[in-house]
Chain A
Amino acid sequence: MNVQTNNVSENNFEQCIKCTICTVYCPVVPVNPLYPGPKQAGPDGERLRLKKGVFFDEALKYCLNCKRCEVVCPSGVRVGDIIQSARLKYSKHKPSIRDMILASTDLVGSTATKMAPIVNPVVSSKPAKALMDGILKIDHRRTFPAYASETFEHWFRKKAAPLQSAFAKQVGYFHGCYVNYNYPKLGQDFVKIMNAVGYGVSLVDKEKCCGVALISNGMKKTAKKHAAHNTAAIAGLLGRCEAVLSTSSTCTLTIRDEYPHLLGTDNSAIRDGVLLAVKFLYSLVDRGEIRLVFRKDFSMTAAYHAPCHLEKLGWSIFSIGLLKMIPGLKLTVLDSNCCGIAGTYGFKKENYEVSQSIGQPLFEQIRSLSPDVVATDCETCKWQIEMSTGFKVMNPVSILAEALDVEATVEENKKAGR
């Protein structure tokens, strides 16, 4: 009889054979004894929660959602998804004002950029940090990323948008909150590279935060709204673009995987078209469709840190591959470790110690190498590593942009008729 040919239900935890590899690789387990570990919090706990919701353990909030458990699972169990879904479904903990502020990257970012000259010095001042620590429970030892005085979107509309229609080939760009409010330079670097290899760039219509911070702070309703809007807007863009690219590994993972798995948003029409910029670029070079020419005078030592969410995507090879194309770059790939910040997690006072303990092995390796820069594709990894080691951190796209001989690249790609 032809039943049970595929005895795996939608619950996904049934493939778990209790091998415990996930718990061995969890970065939280060794530093926080209150966390039951991914196997117990995930597949094991889910069976108990299906029996009775009372078996939901609030200690699941200690999960970083780094997804390293999913990367190592030999049975294909989406352990991290099970844990995050359980938090969204069962947690009685209401998001605090602090959580809402941390999660509302759009709202806070758009306000803060308008007043950046005031906000930045205030936020980094000792009295303000003490206030945030005391009232909001945002750890005073944490360095806040500075806000830009002009958003990326504003810059793009004024300076770049008019030039984009000149290119025959087009890509979309999901810039994310970090590029828009904190570091427009990364977006500008991206546009510079794409234009140099013959691609025009368009932005996602009224782009909203991907929602990752909303999900991890339990604000599912708002996250679903964002997901619905972004999915529709990206679908519109994919009609006239080869792909919609991002320079943030977390935004990419959220849109591709968290939308359907955690929010139940159907993204099947857009999922394959949403890529990390480095993957797209690497593939173009690999297929011989573009060529990159680098400055002869460029020289740099870099240590590459693969963000957890990029490891989950399986795409860190593209960042590493692109960086290795730069002749003047001496690259060391760091051991696979979590930096410990996990988005808004590390900002919370109660998580500060755990967050720093998790990152310790990474920080030590960086210090021992003492590179010119640390390269990584994640904005929150950047904050964490810069704050904890003092080393400068750059996105591989920015390193590429800095090393690129733009004029020669433009010429080369035109000449070849590419």
Chain B
Amino acid sequence: MKTVSNDSVYDVIIIGGGATGAGTARDCALRGLKVLLIERHDIATGATGRNHGLLHSGARYAVTDRESAEECIKENMILKKIARHCVEKTDGFFLTLPEDDLGYQKTFIEACRAAGIEAEAVDPKEALIAEPSANPTITGAVRVPDGSVDPFRLTSANIIDAKLHGAHILVYSEVTDFIFDNDRVVGVKVRDHVSGEETNRYGNIIVNAAGIWGAGIVRKAGISINMFPAKGSLLIFGHRVNNVVLNRCRKPANADILVPGDTICVIGTTSDRVPYDTIDDMRVTPEEVDLLLSEGMKLAPSLEHTRIIRAYAGVRPLVAMDDDPSGRNISRGIVLLDHETRDGVKGLISITGGKLMTYRLMAEMATDLVCAKLGVSAKCVTATEPLPGSRNDSPEEISDRMSSVYANPMRSSAGRHGDMAKSISHDTEYDLSLVCECEDVSLGEVEYAIENLDVHNLVDLRRRTRVGMGTCQGELCACRAAGLLAKAHGCASKAVADLRNFMNERWKGMYPVSWGETLRENEYTLWVYAGVCGMNRKSEDKPEAKSECKSKGKSVKKEGNHEI
């Protein structure tokens, strides 16, 4: 093992590249700290990218959890300002169905208002005009300021800003152990998943922001956090059925939120406790698919006939209170643990619990504690400082200016990258040609992402651009994108292996819903890749796949570690 010689001690090392970790990296960097973030996979791969993408108004928690509701509406209003290109102000309806108690509506509205959430009863007829997909038998509707948020864009924007302020980000790198100096954690041992190389990294404070995986992380320091992994499954439909978020006006239950997000809509979720040792392999079961569909159809009956393109599941990092080892009193609130006072381990804190909606607040709380420990007095500015992409014109303003032919790919990329889209080259027919036809991702945008957004493989590219997220699930775009990655990285065999992984990863999500058109399309995809591209052969059979490419391309960065 070697110690990376050129970097001295970081002020703070953050473990985990989800929204919370990225937000903490940004907050710390903005306060002038020297930051290193370490992520096992790519950014936003855990629970951050595996939820509804709902920009909660807080209404869902108003009756049962006032504190969460208040946090949500505050963060909701903040994100609508600082992350305009990541959110969409759709509004939401809380619908009362004939089987629900209409009396709950009054309790609900009062609880919302008490938490500072605008909630207004709407005549069911008017609600149906505003959102024609809603169940026509509704007996009541309440309008709240829900919206949708793209967690990939949000996390990426935080990473970009952290880097702009000097943070170092290591992806595909896993913390394998802590380095102690007596009772103080002074660093971490890191394994690079690509090169296999191991290094030591030193920091004054280590922040565990690894979500559900955080329990496993601190165990390496001999610390126990009582976490209860709760699996939540969701279904993605092929297009938008609704343009307003639909919820049930009752106590939170299974499959009672339908969120329109970009070109698709998502129904979810289920909620089931799962053993901690299964959290790396979440699969959606047929029973969950049935439940999501049958409940979802009550919100929007047309879901019965709408093509489902994917199923996926995430794991909520639920934390039991320290005085409640059985987990009966589980909190969905934010949990900030100072392991010095709690466990006698200096230099280590954990920020966990919470939800995507409150990532910024969690980051602020963690950073406040880091600063207190380091004696830094800088104040948090993330509630007012817009993220990169939302600093100048809004996607709508950019889009309104476009009237030329071929404007659609430019509109789409403005929607995805906000004001950063001006760096995307759309000057030539080549730049404007489409890589991903479902999601309107141009070649210019893919090249921009590869060049600027730390794309190591096709899955990374998907999170940055939506390549492969449409109805064809990579059928036509994946091979084109693989070609561009091969060109950028100067290695075709790596790109072929990457393409194979990508298509298998797509299939994993299609498998639980593989019937009808989704199955037909997958069969066609198989023809394209196995038949036309000859990818049905095992890689061992192909001599060229054995030869590892050396770093020929410009984008193979810094041998040995995956700093981005």
Q: Give residues in A with beta carbon < 8 Å to B.
A: 1, 3-4, 6-11, 13-20, 34, 36, 39-40, 44-48, 50-51, 54-55, 57, 59, 75
B437/A19 in contact, CB under 8 A:
no
Which among B239, B260, B294 is the interface contact of A3 at CB below 8 angstroms?
B294
Cβ of B199 within 8 Å of any chain A Cβ, yes or no, is: no
What residue in chain A is nearest B260 (Cβ atoms)?
A51
Given the complex, which residues of B lie within 8 Å of A14, measured CB to CB? 238-239, 306-307, 471, 517
B440/A48 in contact, CB under 8 A:
yes
A to B contact number (C-beta, < 8 Å): 100
Q: For residue A73, give the distance in angstroms from its CB to the closest CB of chain B.
A: 13
Q: For residue A282, give the distance in angstroms from its CB to the closest CB of chain B.
A: 35
B472/A18 in contact, CB under 8 A:
yes
What residue in chain A is nearest B239 (Cβ atoms)?
A47
Q: For residue A264, give the distance in angstroms from its CB to the closest CB of chain B.
A: 15
Q: For residue B208, give the distance in angstroms from its CB to the closest CB of chain A.
A: 38
What residue in chain B is nearest A7 (Cβ atoms)?
B516
A6/B407 in contact, CB under 8 A:
no
Given the complex, which residues of B lie within 8 Å of A40, measured CB to CB? 434, 437
A54/B516 in contact, CB under 8 A:
no
What residue in chain A is nearest B287 (Cβ atoms)?
A1
Render B226-265 as a binary contact track against A, CB cut-off 8 A, 1 for contact: 0000000000001110000000000000000000101100
What residue in chain A is nearest B307 (Cβ atoms)?
A14
What residue in chain B is nearest A54 (Cβ atoms)?
B399
Q: Can you identify 13 A-B contacts, CB atoms within 8 angstroms?
A: A4-B308, A7-B308, A7-B516, A9-B302, A9-B305, A14-B238, A36-B408, A39-B437, A45-B408, A47-B471, A51-B262, A51-B263, A75-B517
Render B73-100 as a binary contact track against A, CB cut-off 8 A, 1 for contact: 0000000000000000000000000000
B438/A47 in contact, CB under 8 A:
yes
Cβ of B70 within 8 Å of any chain A Cβ, yes or no, is: no
Q: For residue B338, give the distance in angstroms from its CB to the closest CB of chain A.
A: 44
Please report the C-alpha to C-alpha distance between residue A50 and residue B412 in the assembled complex, in whole angstroms.
13
Which among B239, B304, B520 is the interface contact of A17 at CB below 8 angstroms?
B520
Cβ of B430 within 8 Å of any chain A Cβ, yes or no, is: no
What residue in chain B is nearest A55 (Cβ atoms)?
B408
Please report the C-alpha to C-alpha distance between residue A19 and residue B472 in the assembled complex, in whole angstroms.
10
Cβ of B140 within 8 Å of any chain A Cβ, yes or no, is: no
Given the complex, which residues of B lie within 8 Å of A48, measured CB to CB? 263, 408, 412, 440
Please report the C-alpha to C-alpha distance between residue A51 and residue B470 in the assembled complex, in whole angstroms.
13
Given the complex, which residues of A lie within 8 Å of B305, measured CB to CB? 4, 6-10
Cβ of B532 within 8 Å of any chain A Cβ, yes or no, is: no
B516/A8 in contact, CB under 8 A:
yes
Given the complex, which residues of A lie within 8 Å of B308, measured CB to CB? 4, 7
Give the residues from 246 to 304 in chain B that come closer than 8 angstroms, CB to CB, to chain A.
260, 262-263, 290, 293-294, 297, 302, 304
Q: For residue A53, give the distance in angstroms from its CB to the closest CB of chain B.
A: 11
Given the complex, which residues of B lie within 8 Å of A4, measured CB to CB? 293, 304-305, 308, 515-516
Q: By CB atoms of chain A within 10 A, which of B297, B307, B400 has the most?
A: B307
Q: For residue A55, give the distance in angstroms from its CB to the closest CB of chain B.
A: 6
Q: By CB atoms of chain A within 10 A, which of B262, B440, B475 has the most?
A: B440
Q: For residue B424, give the distance in angstroms from its CB to the closest CB of chain A.
A: 17
Given the complex, which residues of A lie within 8 Å of B1, measured CB to CB? none
List 5 A-B pairs, minimum CB-CB distance, nearest first: A17-B521, A7-B516, A14-B307, A9-B305, A18-B472
Q: For residue A32, give the distance in angstroms from its CB to the closest CB of chain B.
A: 11
Cβ of B411 within 8 Å of any chain A Cβ, yes or no, is: yes
B306/A1 in contact, CB under 8 A:
no
Which among B290, B407, B470, B516 is the interface contact of A47 at CB below 8 angstroms?
B470
A18/B411 in contact, CB under 8 A:
no
What residue in chain B is nearest A40 (Cβ atoms)?
B437
Given the complex, which residues of A lie within 8 Å of B263, measured CB to CB? 47-48, 50-51
A8/B307 in contact, CB under 8 A:
yes
Cβ of B524 within 8 Å of any chain A Cβ, yes or no, is: yes
Please report the C-alpha to C-alpha distance between residue A51 and residue B476 in the assembled complex, in whole angstroms.
22
Cβ of B129 within 8 Å of any chain A Cβ, yes or no, is: no
Q: A9-B302, A44-B437, A75-B517 are in contact. List 7 more A-B contacts (CB 8 A).
A: A1-B293, A3-B304, A7-B516, A14-B307, A15-B517, A18-B438, A18-B521
Please report the C-alpha to C-alpha distance between residue A39 and residue B471 in the assembled complex, in whole angstroms.
13
Please report the C-alpha to C-alpha distance between residue A51 and residue B88 in the assembled complex, in whole angstroms.
11
A3/B524 in contact, CB under 8 A:
no
Give the residues from 469 to 526 in chain B that come closer than 8 angstroms, CB to CB, to chain A.
470-472, 475-476, 515-518, 520-521, 524
Render B432-449 as a binary contact track against A, CB cut-off 8 A, 1 for contact: 001001101000000000
Please report the C-alpha to C-alpha distance between residue A16 and residue B476 in the assembled complex, in whole angstroms.
13
Please report the C-alpha to C-alpha distance between residue A34 and residue B432 in the assembled complex, in whole angstroms.
12
B437/A7 in contact, CB under 8 A:
no
Given the complex, which residues of A lie within 8 Å of B471, measured CB to CB? 14, 16, 18, 47
Q: By CB atoms of chain B within 10 A, which of A44, A46, A55, A57 has the most?
A: A44
Please report the C-alpha to C-alpha distance between residue A367 and residue B320 in the assembled complex, in whole angstroms.
84
Q: For residue B303, give the distance in angstroms from its CB to the closest CB of chain A.
A: 9
Given the complex, which residues of A lie within 8 Å of B515, measured CB to CB? 4, 7
A18/B307 in contact, CB under 8 A:
no
A51/B240 in contact, CB under 8 A:
yes
B239/A11 in contact, CB under 8 A:
yes
Q: For residue B429, give the distance in angstroms from its CB to the closest CB of chain A.
A: 8
B240/A50 in contact, CB under 8 A:
yes
Render B523-561 as a binary contact track against A, CB cut-off 8 A, 1 for contact: 010000000000000000000000000000000000000
Given the complex, which residues of A lie within 8 Å of B293, measured CB to CB? 1, 3-4
A1/B290 in contact, CB under 8 A:
yes
Please report the C-alpha to C-alpha distance between residue A40 and residue B439 in the assembled complex, in whole angstroms.
11
B294/A44 in contact, CB under 8 A:
no
Given the complex, which residues of B lie within 8 Å of A55, measured CB to CB? 408, 411-412, 440
Please report the C-alpha to C-alpha distance between residue A370 and residue B388 in the assembled complex, in whole angstroms.
67
A59/B297 in contact, CB under 8 A:
no
Given the complex, which residues of B lie within 8 Å of A19, measured CB to CB? 524
Please report the C-alpha to C-alpha distance between residue A45 and residue B439 in the assembled complex, in whole angstroms.
9
Known: A8-B307, A16-B471. A3 touches B297 (CB 8 A): yes
Please report the C-alpha to C-alpha distance between residue A62 and residue B46 in the assembled complex, in whole angstroms.
45
Given the complex, which residues of A lie within 8 Å of B290, measured CB to CB? 1, 3
Please report the C-alpha to C-alpha distance between residue A17 and residue B510 in the assembled complex, in whole angstroms.
14
A59/B307 in contact, CB under 8 A:
no
A9/B306 in contact, CB under 8 A:
yes
Please report the C-alpha to C-alpha distance between residue A50 and residue B237 in the assembled complex, in whole angstroms.
13
Please report the C-alpha to C-alpha distance between residue A311 and residue B123 in the assembled complex, in whole angstroms.
49
Q: For residue A2, give the distance in angstroms from its CB to the closest CB of chain B.
A: 10
Given the complex, which residues of A lie within 8 Å of B407, measured CB to CB? 57
B517/A17 in contact, CB under 8 A:
yes
Please report the C-alpha to C-alpha distance between residue A383 and residue B293 in the assembled complex, in whole angstroms.
54
Q: For residue B262, give the distance in angstroms from its CB to the closest CB of chain A.
A: 7
B304/A8 in contact, CB under 8 A:
no
Q: For residue B365, give the distance in angstroms from its CB to the closest CB of chain A.
A: 35
What residue in chain A is nearest B473 (Cβ atoms)?
A18
Please report the C-alpha to C-alpha distance between residue A396 and residue B37 in the assembled complex, in whole angstroms.
77
Given the complex, which residues of B lie within 8 Å of A44, measured CB to CB? 437-438, 440
Q: By CB atoms of chain A within 10 A, which of B308, B515, B521 has the most?
A: B521
